[in-house]
Amino acid sequence: MLRGGDLMYLVILGPPGAGKGTQAKFLSEKLNIPHISTGDIFREAIREKTPLGVKANRYIEKGELVPDEVTVGMIKERIGREDCQKGFLLDGFPRTVAQAEALEKILKEKGLSLDGVIALYVPDEVILERLTFRRSCPQCGRVYHLKYNPPLKEGVCDKCGIPLVHREDDKEEVIMNRLKVYYEKTNPLIDFYKKRGILIEIDGRGAIEEIAKSILEVLGKG
């Protein structure tokens, strides 16, 4: 299915809490390509109170999407950097058909196209449990789950040693809206990429390591 070779331009897609960030961190290390998460970029901007952060937070705290023109401009700048010349793994982008079309255009201008879009499937009830028990490091962004992937020392990041936080948008009412927005605006991308023949469908339930293994197998890197 994939073109093969060492360059890999990939997207990981799925509902909130599907495990995109968890899998992307592992895959980017294994494939030696940068992991670019629009959610992480926005959260860093929010922490630093930059104009982008202030603007993005108005949408994120309600579980709405940040407008396409803001997000597309940000991604265009990010994938134009040197480290993306050998590939990338986009996590959380694209999230609308307009963003997917913009990405195609940006890549086409560079003579590139996506190699694969990994779609993680996870039912809503599993998502709710994953997000309610998720904790993350405000410094390095590392993600834990209190039951399935706990830190070595309770409440503290293994890497940075600082207290973990529960994301503001992981409150139940915001999660419900994020899910609604996902099915309305992002789910159509499944068909969009299926038509292009680059969709890689993965069952996102089960052990983190098993899911990672199945993705690598499909990518021909297992």
- Rounded to whole angstroms, the Cα distance separating 37 from 21 reads 8
Check residue 121 for interaction with ligand AP5 (CB under 6 A). no
Concerning whether 178 is annotated as a catalytic residue, the answer is yes
Q: Is 197 left (phi over 0), alpha (psi -120 to 50) or beta?
A: left
Q: Which residue is nearest to ligand AP5 (CB)?
A: 39
Nearer to ligand AP5, 33 or 66 (CB): 66
Cα–Cα distance measured from residue 189 to residue 92, given in angstroms and rounded to the nearest whole number: 12
- Which residue is catalytic, options 95, 130, 135, 142? 95
Nearer to ligand AP5, 118 or 145 (CB): 145
Q: Pick one of 45, 89, 178, 219: the residue that binds ligand AP5 (CB under 6 A).
A: 178
Chain-centre distance of CA 135, in angstroms? Answer: 16
**Residue reference for tokens 């991308």:** 189
> Are 212 and 27 contacting, i.e. CB atoms less than 8 angstroms apart?
yes
Six-digit token pair at 42?
């926005």
Nearer to ligand AP5, 3 or 148 (CB): 148
Cβ atoms of residues 102 and 68 within 8 Å = yes
For the question of residue 20 being annotated catalytic, the response is yes
Binding site for ligand AP5 (CB under 6 A): 14, 16-22, 38-39, 42, 59-60, 63-66, 71, 92-93, 95, 99, 130, 134, 143-145, 148-149, 169, 178, 206, 208, 211
Q: Which residues are catalytic?
A: 20, 95, 134, 167, 178
